[in-house]
Amino acid sequence: MRKVTIVKKVTAIILLLGTIGIALAVGSTLALIADVSEYRSNFLSSSQPVATVHVFLKEDCPISRYHTKTLSQLHLRYAKHGIVFHGYVSSTRATKQSVAAFRAKFDIPFIVEPDASLEKAHHLGAKVTPEVVLFNQDGKTLYQGRIDNTYADFGKRRRVTTSHDLRDVLTSLSNGEAVEPKSTEAIGCLIPFAKFYPFTKS
């Protein structure tokens, strides 16, 4: 009977030690997961985009509307390379509600905000919509102008797009190639600066 009691006590001790071991292992695993999660969070918060594309649009501009699809495709294609798109509706009538509706209607995946004061467009030198201004991570302007040459002039759309200006710059950046600053003439709807900046040269 005594031997049976001793065996039971030994078994209980072994089970207890096993339970403690499992608890310690689980605790270590959870701590490791927490450390990895914290590292990932810190990395993402501290990392800077390779480039930022500032996109100027207008809700009622037909060329802006046409290019929303191209812009959305470029955003989805190059986001994995650290390239960020940020849109602005540069119109004195733009509101948070109207911009949200515009974004939803054309299924735009990147952030778009109202620029009713036209301050953002004025600051970055955008004169028409659509127009893009691309900065690298050092704040240097690498490209400004049209998205591509689909439109030869307002109301004059080419049958075939032969120059994909923004896409070419983004491809070079994503491949780690050196990009020389470049600008093109954007075709679209004029941004009415005169109301707020009467001395701005066109």
pLDDT in tens, 149-180: 999 998 899 999 999 999 999 999 999 999 99
Q: Alpha carbon 183 to chain centroid distance?
A: 22
118: left (phi over 0), alpha (psi -120 to 50) or beta: left
Is the CB of residue 165 less than 8 Å from the CB of residue 145? yes
**pLDDT more than 70, % of the chain:** 72
Is the CB of residue 186 less than 8 Å from the CB of residue 127? yes
Q: Three-state SS for 187?
A: coil
pLDDT in tens, 129-140: 999 999 999 999
What distance, in Å, lies between the first and last C-alpha atoms of the chain? 104
pLDDT in tens, 63-97: 999 999 999 999 999 999 999 999 999 999 999 99
State yes or no: pLDDT of 121 exceeds 90.
yes
| Of the candidates 108, 165, 103, the residue with the CA atom closest to the CA atom of residue 134 | 165
Distance of alpha carbon 148 from alpha carbon 77, whole angstroms? 16
